[in-house]
Structure 1
């Protein structure tokens, strides 16, 4: 196991007014200009979300995500307490939360690289946060989105699932999910026993839907803020 102090954060923000939603939407295009050269920041992704529970071809202009990788937790805390862009985002939002994560298992690539450094042991009984991300091949967009509704309809309320949302860098062809489960066992029970999800996995292997894909499991050890009915996050032993 690496002794790296690297920390991953996933932030969710909700916007209600038309003005705040327009601001948030505009940041998907120009926000990166304000988020350069931040001390301790290794990677940052601004993410939109889908309608409903997030797994939809229709965008949700009221919910956005910010995924970041930091050299250490101190760098993350400095950003979340002092950076002007983030403070403005907080002021405009009506609901927000940030999850602090330690990577435990990672497979695949994101943008041609494996961005996460393993910093903790993997415990199948411990709470787990999961990020999946894929770039869908253009010729498979129709086939992929034909199967999403049946899967997304059976995501919410699964045993052991605490939170789940679909996010993405670009509509339609760059999709990601973020979810939190009571344990990895509960997550795997859903992934491999749910018939709709199993069908998507099979189709993915048979048809080669993805140009690139990544699957990562994290230990969620801290939460700041609130998100719907989720929380508080129970800190794992040792944190």
Structure 2
């Protein structure tokens, strides 16, 4: 059975940052214990400009959740975790996703299974990695050219960084007009290809995962994730 996945993001005012950081500590376990949750990560975010430790955006937070089904995901809005974040937020968005491909592990498991699928419309790519401490500096030095290249890539709708911790546990989310645009950048852009080829020889990651999803629906304020190609609610 193909998992049902949601990505949530909340924008909070600067005055609420201390409370948001407290929620990050309090809500990790509560999110995992929410009925219908199969896998969940509460995440900090970054601007997506460098994907290093200076890239953090303390006014935006996210949650990636794998659900038993769409009904459980719909019930999340009434949960204690979602209500707490809604009280802090000045804007929020939910993106519904269907896994198309996934390679690697996150916290030792394959959270999205081993899907095989295609999509004609909007797609979301997620990468995450746990850096080896001794290789982190060389990784951060290698990232700026790739970050600059993805920002100018045709078909990119938005991108931002994600992380379970400020240093060493990090990833990216990018949304693309279609699979062809994503593949063109991921496998044919010279800067990105160079980074891919360096990965096995540099040994940057202790654990990593790459996943691609079809975007099924977007509900809320897309500007929270820097996606401004449409209204605040719409079918993607």
Alignment TM-score, normalising by the size of structure 1? 0.88
Query: Given the superposition, is the C-alpha separation of residues 87 and 163 from structure 1 closer, same or farther in structure 2, using an over 3 Å criterion?
Result: same
Give the structure 2 partner of residue 67 of structure 1: 64
Give the structure 1 partner of residue 180 of structure 2: 185
Instruction: Please tell me whether the aligned partners of residues 146 and 191 of structure 2 are also in contact (alpha carbons under 8 angstroms).
Output: yes
Give the structure 2 partner of residue 90 of structure 1: 86
Give the structure 2 partner of residue 207 of structure 1: 202
Query: Given the superposition, is the C-alpha separation of residues 223 and 202 from structure 1 closer, same or farther in structure 2, using an over 3 Å criterion?
Result: same
Give the counterpart of 1:151 among 146, 152, 164.
146
**Structure 1 residue 70, shift from structure 2 partner:** 0.5
Give the counterpart of 2:108 among 108, 112, 123.
112
The secondary structure found in structure 2 opposite 1:35 is: helix
Runs of 5+ consecutive residues of structure 2 not aligned to the other structure: none
Q: Which runs of 4+ in 1 moved over 6 A?
A: none
Residues 73-98 of structure 1: CA distance to partner in whole angstroms, max 9, x if unpaired? 11011112x11221121121112101
The secondary structure found in structure 2 opposite 1:122 is: coil
Count of residues in Structure 1 that have an aligned counterpart in Structure 2: 230
Runs of 5+ consecutive residues of structure 1 not aligned to the other structure: none
**Structure 1 residue 53, shift from structure 2 partner:** 4.2
Q: Aligned partners of 1:53, 1:95: CA distance in 2, in Å? A: 22
Give the structure 2 partner of residue 136 of structure 1: 131
Query: Given the superposition, is the C-alpha separation of residues 130 and 21 from structure 1 closer, same or farther in structure 2, using an over 3 Å criterion?
Result: same
Q: Aligned partners of 2:80, 2:9: CA distance in 1, in Å? A: 17
Residues 160-210 of structure 1: CA distance to partner in whole angstroms, max 9, x if unpaired? 111111101112211111111111110111112322222211211221211
- Judging by fraction of residues, say which structure has more helix: 2
